[in-house]
Chain A
Amino acid sequence: MRRPRLDPIGLAVLNHRLAAIAEEMGVRLGHTGFSPNIKERHDYSCALFDAGGRLAAQAAHIPVHLGSTPLSVRAALAAHRLAPGDVVAVNDPFAGGTHLPDLTLVAPVHGRSGRLLGYVANRAHHADVGGMTPGSMPLAREIHQEGFRLPPVRLVRRGAMDDDVLALFLANTRVPDERRGDLDAQRAALAVGAERLVDLAEDLGAPALARGMDELQRYSERLMAATLRTLPGGVYRAVDLLDGDGIGEGPIPIRVAITLGGGRARVDFAGSAPQVEGSLNANYAITLSAAVYVFLTLAREAIPANDGITRRLDVRAPEGSVVNAMFPAAVAGGNVETSQRIVDVMLRALASAAPDRVPAASCGSMNNLAIGGFDHGRGRAFSYYETVAGGAGAGPAGAGASGIHTHMTNTLNTPIEALEAYYPFRVTAYRLRRGSGGAGRHRGGDGLVREIMLLESAEATLLTERRRLSPWGLAGGGDGARGRNLLVRRGRRRALPGKANLRLEAGDGIRLETPGGGGFGGRGRRGGRPRK
């Protein structure tokens, strides 16, 4: 395939090669990771960048990482002149990160002749990076309370780990051994990505590879433009609400005006709430990721994930707002909760532009649960973090799926039999929350019930949404049922707020009932009323 420029065939062939490299990085990371969060739940993403730091390929793992990983690479390049063998680590939401548990590694890739070919990067959710509570998703009021903040620093210099930086990081997490294992896995994934990219450059020639990556980005841009042209021009507005940040008074409005025309989209969040005291603040990287995700779902063909997809999108978010928070805002929930609401409000706005594609609101929360403490039986500290799925919104094509992760996340659950073997927990129920999907011609998907009993005392953090305000139905469909959080103590159930920090005794249970999806279309059967 030595062609002067890429024709339709060369494009398809190069797309295969680059996508395969990003995928292989992901396989390597999942197989060598140590924490259940990485090895069982696959909470990570891997990507390749061209020599200019533009996204060249990203494996379709976690949508919330999509628009945000490029900003980590940009921050790493702004902070350092990278030499062969260097690896930069970053998690600072105000310098290329999203929220503190997501730790991104970036490494340059040089060809055999020493020429810079591009960069490889991956981002993995670490189950603990310090902060007020185990799991590092506390109900904090500022970033400093949320955990250890790592601006872009060189973790590896010319192939040698900087033990000082590593020691500093590990000393600030609750389960350092697990962190070290996960970091090794991230490095292994970078190494395989770099090796494959070098091979590809050998096969094609470095200049041809560079041109190819460039053309592939233009190809994605064309596909995105074609997608946008399938939508009628105009301005589409909507507002949606977050329940509240757990500290101040809710609800928190997010407003959007989407202007479509000429194969471009301007997405403006002017009028959204100012940044809040609690942790529901999203930085710009998250808002951009959510916007990119929404337009990718509207595409009728798969668009290779690279820099080209953002070129047709102009995403504006007022500085200091809940969708573009400034230092020193707390941001843990912006990534996992506010990102979902940004998708909801954008889809609500676009429902009239694409009534054939847009479904009702899905669960709208990742239903985050973090539990940590000391496990006396196993003689070690533990830090558990998990997200629980909910119902998908019904759409023009049919009923919503039940018990499924929607929109900005797509992690797996932790198997009960693995969970109980690692943590001092007993899962006492894991089932669909029947009847929680919204009514309609097409029923919304049902949420889930997950109840965990603690066998040791521990500290738990709940970060959940759609506990006050339901996922909306569409085209006459009914709303999905709100979620509920319950404490089960000595056989009695007590309601918990959507966001809570609590001390649990051995024998206590914590029960999450996650929201159902909204219904679609009128004249349907009953719904939105979960059976007790």
Chain B
Amino acid sequence: MPRRRRRRLVQVGIDTGGTFTDFVVRDDGRIRVHKVLSTPDDPARAVLAGLAELLPGAWSGEVTYGSTVATNALLERRGARVCLVTTAGFEDVLEIGRQARPRVYALEPRLPAPLVRRADRLGVRERTSHDARIVTRLGSVELRRLVRRVRARRPAAVAVVLLHSYARPEHEQRIGAALAALGVPVTLSHALVREHREYERTSTCVVNAYVAPAMRRHLERLARGLGRRPLRVMQSSGGAVAPALAAREPVRTILSGPAGGVVGAAALAERLGLDAALTIDMGGTSTDVALVAGGIPRRTECVIDGMPLRVPVIDIHTVGAGGGSIARRDAGGSLQVGPESAGADPGPACYGRGTLATVTDANLVLGRLVADRFLGGAMPLDLRRAQAAISRLARQLRLSAPCAAEGVVQVVNAAMIRALRVISLERGHDPRLFTLMAFGGAAALHACELAVELGIGRVLVPAHPGVLSAAGMAAAPRSRAFSTTVRLVDPSLAALARLAAPWQRRGAAELRREGVPRAAIANRTTALMRYVGQAHEVEVPLGADLRGRFDAAHAQAYGHGDSRRSVEVLALCVEVTGAVRRREGAARRRSDRRAPVGARHRLVWRGRVLEAARHEREVLGPTARIGGPALVTEYSSTTFVPPGWRGRVDGEGHLHLERR
């Protein structure tokens, strides 16, 4: 196809991973995929290099980017020196946390060291009450003294978290104004998290301040490289924002990588008319699962490395089980798989360096991976090493090698099933009504067997399962999300609407400044509600019969509702979105060949050796029919179709599997 020289309008999604940076380009309805090696010292380099390779000519359009800069700065403790300003007497809230230890039976409990050392945590004499009264006024002398103390420490960022500032932010605002002269990012807690619970708010603001300088520098470099083309940054909630906001509130991007995958899955599910899907993204060390049903469920909090972050995130459940998880026999004679992982180095035994048996080794020994088709043949796997590792394990377990290998798969499946149950059954959903969507390197190997255990009849493996996250970024809407503690008992709908209105206006105004037309702006406001006295809230969209819908939602989630009890609206969540101009392309033209039946492959399933068909995903067309047992191989993934399953590929290249 000749390249036209006119300026093209494209949408680009970019997902930075530890090894590769993935690109997905939607260009006149066509989708193209690209990968370059990541450049962890300066992630912008890989992004700009990849774009230059992918779009050499002139182009315009939008780039949506999932950044790991904030995540890595946090996890590797390479963030900025931060000063934390608190109400005097509460300088240690950050360090004390919630007093609990993470592992109950650890004789020497360890907590992560606080991101701000004691000498940089500054108390200020002031006090506001929970009902918005000033108990101790912040004096101007005290304020000037504070500014001097902060300045003397030369921090690269400041976080200000005063007690009850969500109820009355006056003192935080005055401190913010006084610190502006320092010229460093200042995070005011009421502006980032307008909710009660001081430790969670402090933790969130400190992380924000800690990663803010690195994020700002990075986004500036990226913006320079992109010129006038607009850049949007993915957030953990699944929405995208302009770089200025991402630089101010980088804590909202920390889980944006996994969020991209779920947004991509949700967009695909909607397009294919699936109303309920469970997603499973299995990588080397961990597996992320999520649920998509008429929208993407979100949580109001997540925990990273022991630190709670009170920002909206997609409800993703992660388990420490992946392809690299190590299998071993424990002292009681049971088989354990994970959470220890062989990682990328030494990696599974079959990568040629390690000797410990992993899930990947088990799959290879069982014939569910093809040694010379891994990464398109670029990285042949060492079957003999895998066999040796599995045989060693089998001897310890007093099982045959195939039995041990199948056992490894079963046990890792049990961990994933547990995660899938958490996000479905624990949230009041019946998994049997869902389609299981499998992506990431390893999920498609396990998906059908997981489905059987959960009573699920349909599995979908999207085209390019390795870059679904980048595709999700290209599809993400622009969004603004706010939450505000209101604490009202049995309020009228009108009162709630009045409280939500300023946030809705603010979000809409910000999106319009980014060029989103008025007609494309929509907002969704939900109330976090609970029976008076309860701790955990149920999220209910604001609208008619709020009370009745709350009782019903509570009953669905928790098995009982009580229409007589008073109800408290704790907080309102306002999300304003601007839809992406999306042009869904016609189906990709692909060669329409029937599955080549020549390639046969032997694999082990439930103790039997089966002759399976082997298909190359790239050449499967819409008329091809696949019957289990079969393997479908492609560049970054392999799908195992067990007996009793059959499949077909649709016009866009998605693989649909069904239980007969």
Partner of B337, one of A12, A301, A303: A12
B330 touches A403 (CB 8 A): no
Counting CB contacts under 8 A, is A290 at the interface?
no
A417 touches B330 (CB 8 A): no
Partner of A34, one of B337, B414, B533: B533
B107 touches A413 (CB 8 A): no
Counting CB contacts under 8 A, is B519 at the interface?
no
Residues of chain A within 8 A of B109, CB atoms compared = 392, 401, 404, 406
B107 touches A33 (CB 8 A): no
Counting CB contacts under 8 A, is B335 at the interface?
yes
B330 touches A301 (CB 8 A): yes
- Given A12-B414, A412-B98, A27-B89 contact (CB < 8 Å): no
B558 touches A31 (CB 8 A): yes
B:367-424 near A, CB below 8 Å: 397, 399, 403, 406-407, 410-411, 414-415, 417-418, 421-422
- Given A226-B332, A403-B95, A13-B411 contact (CB < 8 Å): yes
Give the total of B residues in contact with A, Cβ under 8 Å.
Answer: 68
- Cα(A60)–Cα(B163), bound, Å: 32
A36 touches B535 (CB 8 A): yes
Residues of chain B within 8 A of A30, CB atoms compared = 535-536
Q: Which of B174-182, B193-201, B279-287, B461-469 forms contacts with chain A? A: B193-201
- Cα(A448)–Cα(B455), bound, Å: 51
A188 touches B99 (CB 8 A): no
Q: Mark B199-217, 1 if CB is under 8 A from A, else 0.
A: 1100000000000000000
A430 touches B197 (CB 8 A): no
A412 touches B108 (CB 8 A): no
Counting CB contacts under 8 A, is A416 at the interface?
yes
Q: Mark A402-424, 1 if CB is under 8 A from B, else 0.
A: 11111000111101111011000
Counting CB contacts under 8 A, is B56 at the interface?
no
CB distance from A211 to the nearest CB of B (A): 15
B105 touches A413 (CB 8 A): no
Counting CB contacts under 8 A, is A5 at the interface?
no
Partner of B535, one of A33, A184, A432: A33
- Cα(A428)–Cα(B197), bound, Å: 16
CB distance from A41 to the nearest CB of B (A): 9
**Of all chain A residues, which has the CB nearest B535?**
A39
Residues of chain B within 8 A of A396, CB atoms compared = 108
Counting CB contacts under 8 A, is A252 at the interface?
no
A403 touches B407 (CB 8 A): no
B487 touches A299 (CB 8 A): no
Partner of A192, one of B105, B129, B411, B559: B559
Counting CB contacts under 8 A, is B106 at the interface?
yes
Counting CB contacts under 8 A, is A169 at the interface?
no
A412 touches B196 (CB 8 A): no
- Cα(A27)–Cα(B421), bound, Å: 13
CB distance from A253 to the nearest CB of B (A): 24
Partner of A20, one of B106, B422, B531: B422
A:332-390 near B, CB below 8 Å: 357-359, 388-389
A413 touches B99 (CB 8 A): yes
**Of all chain A residues, which has the CB nearest B398?**
A8
B198 touches A413 (CB 8 A): no
- Given A12-B411, A28-B559, A400-B108, A7-B534 contact (CB < 8 Å): no
B199 touches A415 (CB 8 A): yes
- Given A7-B407, A34-B534, A421-B130, A20-B558 contact (CB < 8 Å): no
B425 touches A24 (CB 8 A): yes
Residues of chain A within 8 A of B89, CB atoms compared = 428-431, 451
CB distance from B330 to the nearest CB of A (A): 5
Partner of A412, one of B100, B110, B417, B426: B100
- Given A403-B92, A430-B92, A431-B90, A395-B100 contact (CB < 8 Å): no
Counting CB contacts under 8 A, is A236 at the interface?
no
Counting CB contacts under 8 A, is B560 at the interface?
yes
Residues of chain A within 8 A of B331, CB atoms compared = 222-223, 226-227, 300-301
Counting CB contacts under 8 A, is B597 at the interface?
no
CB distance from B306 to the nearest CB of A (A): 12
Residues of chain B within 8 A of A177, CB atoms compared = 533
**Of all chain B residues, which has the CB nearest A9?**
B407
A:288-305 near B, CB below 8 Å: 293, 296-303
CB distance from B426 to the nearest CB of A (A): 5
Partner of B487, one of A16, A24, A27, A421: A421
- Cα(A385)–Cα(B334), bound, Å: 42
- Cα(A495)–Cα(B403), bound, Å: 68
Counting CB contacts under 8 A, is B104 at the interface?
yes
**Additional A-B contact list (10), CB under 8 Å, known A7-B399, A8-B397, A415-B198:** A8-B407, A12-B337, A30-B535, A300-B331, A301-B332, A397-B108, A404-B111, A410-B101, A415-B196, A415-B200
Chain B positions near chain A (C-beta within 8 angstroms): 89-93, 95-101, 104-111, 127, 129-130, 135, 163-164, 166, 196-200, 329-337, 397, 399, 403, 406-407, 410-411, 414-415, 417-418, 421-422, 425-426, 487, 531, 533-536, 557-560, 562, 565
List 10 interface pairs A-B (beta carbons < 8 Å), by A numbering. A1-B410, A16-B417, A33-B535, A34-B533, A184-B560, A219-B332, A226-B332, A359-B108, A398-B108, A418-B197
Chain A positions near chain B (C-beta within 8 angstroms): 1, 7-9, 11-13, 15-17, 20, 24, 27-28, 30-36, 38-40, 60-61, 63, 177-178, 181, 184, 188, 191-192, 196, 219-220, 222-223, 226-227, 293, 296-303, 357-359, 388-389, 392, 394-398, 400-406, 410-413, 415-418, 420-421, 426, 428-432, 448, 451
List the 5 shortest-distance A-B pairs measured between CB atoms, nearest first: A39-B535, A9-B407, A223-B332, A226-B331, A31-B536
